[in-house]
Amino acid sequence: MKAVVTVSIPRDLLDTILAGAKQLYPRESFLFLRGKKSKGVISVSDLIVAPFAVHGRGFASFSPHMLPIDFSVVGTVHSHPSGNIKPSHVDLNYSFGRILMIVGYPFADEQCVAVYSSDGEKLTLQITTNKENGVR
Ligand SMILES: [Zn+2]
C-alpha cells in the first residue's frame, strides 16, 4: 500500500466537492470517492453520496459495513469547517479505502484540500482536466 504516491482528480470534481462543503458549512460534508489505481496513481473519477452519512457539527460518521461491496471506492472526502486540513485521530481510525481527502474552510481552491493515505501519510494531489482522468 506504500506504493501510492499521487492522487489525481479532475478540476470540476474538486469544484463540486468544494461547492458541496461550502453549502453544508458549518456542518461537515462526507462523500465516497470512486476511481482506480494504476502505477502508483489513484485517479478519482466519481463521487458517491453516502445516503446513511450522519451530518452534524464537528463530526461525520458512517458505517462501512452498510456499503455495498464496491471495489471501485478508493476512499472518502469530508470537510473540516475549522479550516484545519490535518486528519483527526477519528478520521484515521475510521478511514475507508486507500485515501482520505480533507477539504477545509473556506473551501476556495486546492489550497484548502489535502489528501492522505489510510495511515496518515500526506499524498500529492494532482489536479487534471476531465479528459486526462477519463471521466465519463
Ligand atoms: Zn475529519
Distance 80 CA to ligand 1 centre (A): 6
pLDDT-above-90 percentage for the chain: 55
Q: Check whether 109 has a pLDDT greater than 70.
A: yes
Q: What is the pLDDT of residues 60-74, one digit of tens each?
A: 555 555 565 566 889
C-alpha cell belonging to residue 132 = 486526462
Q: What is the pTM of this model?
A: 0.83
Distance 103 CA to ligand 1 centre (A): 9
Q: Check whether 34 has a pLDDT greater than 70.
A: yes
* Rounded Cα gap, residues 11 and 85, in angstroms: 19
Work out the pLDDT band at 53, boundaries 50, 70, 90.
Answer: low
Distance 131 CA to ligand 1 centre (A): 30
Average pLDDT, the chain: 84
Q: Check whether 20 has a pLDDT greater than 70.
A: yes
Work out the pLDDT band at 114, boundaries 50, 70, 90.
Answer: very high
Distance 88 CA to ligand 1 centre (A): 5
Mean pLDDT of 88-100: 88
Instruction: Region of 28 please: left (phi>0), alpha (psi -120 to 50) or beta.
Output: beta
Distance 90 CA to ligand 1 centre (A): 7
C-alpha cell belonging to residue 85 = 486540513
* Rounded Cα gap, residues 11 and 109, in angstroms: 10
Distance 92 CA to ligand 1 centre (A): 8
Query: CB-based contacts of 16: which residues, under 8 Å, 6+ apart?
Result: 47
CB 36 within 8 A of CB 45: yes
Distance 53 CA to ligand 1 centre (A): 13
Q: Check whether 122 has a pLDDT greater than 90.
A: yes
Distance 60 CA to ligand 1 centre (A): 8
